[in-house]
Amino acid sequence: MLKPDRIVSTTCPYCGVGCNLQLHIQGDTIYKVTTPFDAPVNKGNLCVKGRFGYDFVYHPRRVTTPLIRKSPQQPGSRTQAFDRAEWREVSWDEALEYTADRLVEIYQRDGARAMAAYCCAKATNEDNYLLQKMYRALFRTNHIDHCTRLCHAASVVALQMAVGSSAMSNTADEVVDNDVFILTGSNTTENHPIIALQMKAAIQKHGAKLIVADPRRIEMVDYAVLWLAQKPGTDVPLFSAMAHVILKENRYNQEFIDARTENFAEFAASMEKFTPEYAESITGVSRDKIIEAARLYAGAHNAAIYWSLGIPEHSHGTANALSLINLALLTGHIGRRGNGLNPLRGQNNVQGASDSGAMPWHYPGYQSVANEDAAQKFERAWNIEPGGLNRKLGLTTTEILGNVQPNGVRALYIMGENPMMSEPNLNHTRHQMEQLEFVVAQDLFINESGAFADVFLPAASWAEKEGTFTNTDRRVQRVRQAISPRGQARADWQIVCDLAQRIEKRLGRPTARWDYTHPAQVLEEMGSLVPEYAGVRYHRIENLGLQVPVLDDEHPGTPFLFAESFPRGRGKFHPLEYVPSAEMPDDDYPFILTTGRVLEHWHGGTLTRNSGLNDLWPEALIEINPEDAARLGVAPNGPVRVTSRRGTIVLRARVTSKAVRGVVFIPFFYGPAAANLLTNDVVDPQAKIPEYKVSAVRITPVEES
């Protein structure tokens, strides 16, 4: 049996649960992962990704040398280059000089509007803080975003509107304190597996009652007392009908409403029309179940709501999330242990990347770029002349790639993201990528987006660098270097600092600090600018991490939020209307396509497709209901063509009653049959999040050759 030379404690690089990993190392090789039973988040449990998914670090496809494309690319004719023969290996000095030259040339010619960057929810807080700082301080642009735009942006906007804070309000394991909890738009078993275990323990050991509201018959339905199988896109009438019942039956919490909220009368009037009968006609959920769910939730002593991407990824995603927030304000199920509003964040550090300012409308800590006081504060901190920072809201991810034109975005810096898998309507995205003048990819692998790049900067993996991740329940935890970087790979924060200094020289205007020797100094700078991180220091998060807000060096962190008040003062009720999804099924496209993830793959799959996990799910399958399959003549595992108004893919069918009639599901990790070739790029007007959960498609069996 192998014996480790050392065991390094770190945080899982995959989902937002943030499990502790103990990496067992011999020489410079990680050969096993375990976790202790007293790990604060996962208590001895790991899912398949955390336990076995680390081998991407050593994958032969990994790129560990800086590369420059051999054939210069022109806007309009840019092509993808996956083959290493199409690139030449260069030194770091040449790669960064070339990158700085091209970025500065475009900036000096076209100004801030031409510059855009994708930060990364897989990278650390420090990596993200520095990339947004480089773009804001040096290129004076707010065109900075990351994949939160494509997952929980509408939850963030709705929570900011209603309570003034956008994170989970409870700790994940507070679910054991729930009498009742609602789980909606979350296939928790596959996407937050350890939280799903905690939910099952709450049900089986503590008697909690689970209400699942989901169009798919996900595994958690087996544990639920009620399954509300609403049609995709009908969340507002479903949850508003529950509010209607609570109002009509006087089950609301008048004391809480009087003391802690505003806009109740206007909200209550808007709920009049959402009778259970009306909601039944739209959602397909029986009025009796709606009434029962409302009574259960309102009658509980402790109740919380958990949701994931099934709520925000709609053209009315903000309204969906507001319909949940209204329920919590109406019943007072918020601001106490076991009572709250909990958007389950997807990627390992999507919460932290958002906190770190990887967003077009906010500096770190959600301080608006349009707020003069905030802008001046960051100008002082970053040594920028008064008025130097851009006060205009930047473009979101979807807007950046919707605005590639001579007078728009010309240069794109992609740190660890893969828009060519994750954006909706990929044929349109491809066209936009082709029009770019200069593309930088900083990653571990040349993925579908990196293949468009002019220069590839090889990044260190999570096991090869120091930093912090902030998990879904706001716990800031250490990421520790366990092995040396492969080849010439460098930590993202080091690449950005090196590049920033070269850009600064060319621009001839010294700005902020770039000479950090350790990411702890970066986090300290961020903490000096973000009150919620003021007390987060590396020495304080050695073992358990700390849950933000951590307001000073003595502050113990905050397990649940809003005990006394909301950050915006009073919680605000929002009146709502039902707005149907943008693209409903019709005779030509009779099925609703909904997309999502599977346990074994992670988001766009850059890491898991380069891991042994890929053997478990080597291709995407379309889930289709047995009755639909029989009617169409689709055989189990038989190939089908799936067509939307935007594209066509061919993949195999998984015939399963997990899919309800009329609704099919495709995971979006698989390049050759990318689900996002089909999805609709219409966005929620407030949050700019695309409608991944409802696209109309046609399905045709394909003859096997």
Q: Which residues bind ligand SF4 (CB under 6 A)?
A: 12, 14-15, 17-19, 42, 46-47, 49-50, 193-194
Give min distance, CB of 146 to ligand SF4, in A.
19
Nearest CB to ligand SF4, comparing residues 41 and 561? 41
Give min distance, CB of 220 to ligand SF4, in A.
15
Beta bridge pairs of residue 643: 648, 698
Nearest CB to ligand SF4, comparing residues 81 and 344? 344
Helix/strand/coil for 155: helix
Helix/strand/coil for 442: strand
| Alpha-carbon gap, residue 468 to 478, rounded angstroms | 5
Give min distance, CB of 78 to ligand SF4, in A.
34
Nearest CB to ligand SF4, comparing residues 136 and 475? 475
Which residues have a Cβ under 8 Å from the Cβ of 193 and sit 6 or more positions away?
Answer: 15, 17, 47, 599
DSSP code for 433: H
Give min distance, CB of 214 to ligand SF4, in A.
19
> CA neighbours within 13 Å on the CB side: how many for 507?
25
Give min distance, CB of 470 to ligand SF4, in A.
13
Q: Are 228 and 211 in contact (CB under 8 A)?
A: yes
Which residues have a Cβ under 8 Å from the Cβ of 542 and sit 6 or more positions away?
Answer: 478
Beta bridge pairs of residue 623: 654, 665
Nearest CB to ligand SF4, comparing residues 267 and 306? 306
Q: Are 374 and 389 in contact (CB under 8 A)?
A: no
Nearest CB to ligand SF4, comparing residues 447 and 477? 477
Q: Are 127 and 492 in contact (CB under 8 A)?
A: yes
| Sheet containing 115-118: order of strands | 87-89, 67-69, 455-458, 438-443, 411-415, 115-118, 144-145
Kind of pairing between the strands at 29-34 and 20-26: antiparallel
DSSP code for 75: T
Give min distance, CB of 660 to ligand SF4, in A.
27
Give min distance, CB of 91 to ligand SF4, in A.
35
Helix/strand/coil for 38: coil
Nearest CB to ligand SF4, comparing residues 239 and 306? 306
Give min distance, CB of 52 to ligand SF4, in A.
10
Q: How many CB atoms lie within 10 A of CB 672?
A: 9
Kind of pairing between the strands at 87-89 and 115-118: unpaired
Nearest CB to ligand SF4, comparing residues 293 and 546? 546
Give min distance, CB of 8 to ligand SF4, in A.
16
Question: Nearest-CB residue to ligand SF4?
Answer: 50
Nearest CB to ligand SF4, comparing residues 143 and 475? 475
Nearest CB to ligand SF4, comparing residues 21 and 238? 21
Element (H, E) at 158: helix 153-162
Phi-psi region of 562 (alpha: psi -120 to 50; beta: other; left: phi over 0): left
Give min distance, CB of 601 to ligand SF4, in A.
11
Nearest CB to ligand SF4, comparing residues 46 and 243? 46
Where do the DSSP E strands lie in 448-513? 455-458, 467-470, 475-479
